[in-house]
Amino acid sequence: MKAITYSRYGPPDVLELEEIEPPVPGEDEVLIHVRAAEATKADCELRSFRFSVKWFWLPLRLAVGVTRPRRRILGDYFSGVVTAVGRRVTRLAVGDEVFGSAGFRRGAYGEYLTVPEKYPVVTKPSNMSFEDAAAVPLGGLNAIHFMRLAGIQPGERVLINGAGGSIGAHAVQIAKAFGAEVTAVDSSIKERMLRRIGADRFIDYTKEHFAARGETYDVVFDMVAGSSYGQCISSLKPRGRYLKGNPRLSDMLRSAWTTRFTDKTVRVAFARETQEALDALKQLIEEGRIVSIVDRAYPMNRAAEAHRRVETEQRAGAIVLAIGEEAAVS
Ligand SMILES: NC(=O)c1ccc[n+]([C@@H]2O[C@H](COP(=O)([O-])OP(=O)(O)OC[C@H]3O[C@@H](n4cnc5c(N)ncnc54)[C@H](OP(=O)(O)O)[C@@H]3O)[C@@H](O)[C@H]2O)c1
């Protein structure tokens, strides 16, 4: 099979298109013919081994390979078709069109992928192409996790910082589906897209800091590494909730204090990815309440270009790799 691989940490050009042996599913696993995979910021961070949050550099390096990557195929989030199932698999069947997450196993940048049946992989929404569906699990699973933690009530004011990213753009749509009034914060090239998917108000972070307006919110959801903890807390109404997806160690310590000694709640939890959450997203998609936002799709032989576009952030939406395609895609 063809796979985009990397054998050393470095710039996008370390990605190579290679012919390798396809994986064989174990008794509890399914074999998936991958049709599309999202090229994510986390993929780029793993490829280059540069992270905006520094504290997990050492534990992560020990986990993924000290001198070179132990797993040579990136890609956590994908869509595809089940082509074989292990003897003990009952939930999925050959021919199912699925989308989901391969988690820490990664491997979705290859034409075939094996995942345990218990992983968050479910049949894909009937009203979505493979490319659109591959752009949902990362943003959708993280966003639904945090938006549920926020306990949003209809009519509440929600601010999403980093709203134009994969996670933020899903959070905008889920918060709207929960009945919130949403303020989206990002750079101006994302404004049109964010208004199209439901943002009621938009603040361009390159021109002003949202906290400087003196407005307060029931929920602040913040996916921006290095943003000011104090400014986010001061933007909360009484009993407001602050959710931080990219916490520094100091944020984690301060969150415990804020939650214990003030009327505000801070959650810094990492998202759990579950089949139930993915099914909930699928339902929201089939009801027309969430759309997938794909900025551009690239064929496999232009993976380095795809990573460059993710890294330069001149995009409005997800970057997708059309797996199996070597000819030009849009
Ligand atoms: N907690 C978890 O479970 C979890 C899970 C997955 C990922 N993450 C982390 O969460 C982060 C976001 O993920 P993502 O995939 O959504 O990233 P992404 O697609 O790159 O989105 C980040 C967005 O934030 C915007 N931004 C940058 N600086 C900003 C600022 N100062 N104020 C407001 N917006 C700003 C970026 O816009 P520009 O174009 O202007 O840069 C971009 O639109 C990543 O660092 C990732 O590693 C956490």
* 183, 244 contact by CB (below 8 A): no
Mean pLDDT of 81-109: 97
Cα(81) to ligand 1 centroid in Å equals 30
Tokens of residue 99, six digits: 């989308």
Q: What is the pLDDT of residues 161-189, one digit of tens each?
A: 999 988 999 999 999 999 999 999 999 99
Residues with a CB atom less than 6 Å from ligand 1: 40-42, 52, 142, 161-162, 164-168, 185-187, 190, 205, 223-225, 245-246, 270-271, 313
Mutate to test the pocket of ligand 1, among 186, 190, 205, 243 (most ligand atoms within 8 A of CB): 186
Tokens of residue 243, six digits: 């959710």
Q: How far apart are CA 88 and CA 86, in angstroms?
A: 6
Least confident of 41-45, 85-89, 108-112, 270-274: 270-274
Atom of ligand 1 nearest to the CA of 227: 31
Global pTM reads 0.91
Atom of ligand 1 nearest to the CA of 271: 3
Which of the four pLDDT bands, split at 50, 70 and 90, describes residue 237?
Answer: very high
Mean pLDDT of 9-25: 97
Number of other residues whose CB lies within 10 A of the CB of residue 308: 17
Q: How far apart are CA 255 and CA 264, in angstroms?
A: 10
CATH ID of 2-136+293-322, from 3.90.180.10, 3.30.300.280, 3.30.9.10, 3.30.2010.10: 3.90.180.10
- Sequence ranges of the chain with CATH classification 3.90.180.10: 2-136+293-322
Mean pLDDT of 80-85: 98
According to CATH, the superfamily of the domain at 138-267 is NAD(P)-binding Rossmann-like Domain (3.40.50.720)
1-4, long-range: CB < 8 A, 24+ apart:
1/110, 1/111, 1/112, 2/110, 2/111, 2/300, 2/324, 2/326, 3/73, 3/109, 3/110, 3/111, 4/73, 4/74, 4/75, 4/109, 4/110, 4/300, 4/303, 4/321
Cα(307) to ligand 1 centroid in Å equals 15
- Sequence ranges of the chain with CATH classification 3.40.50.720: 138-267
Where does 86-200 show beta strands of DSSP type E? 97-101, 112-116, 121-123, 157-161, 181-186
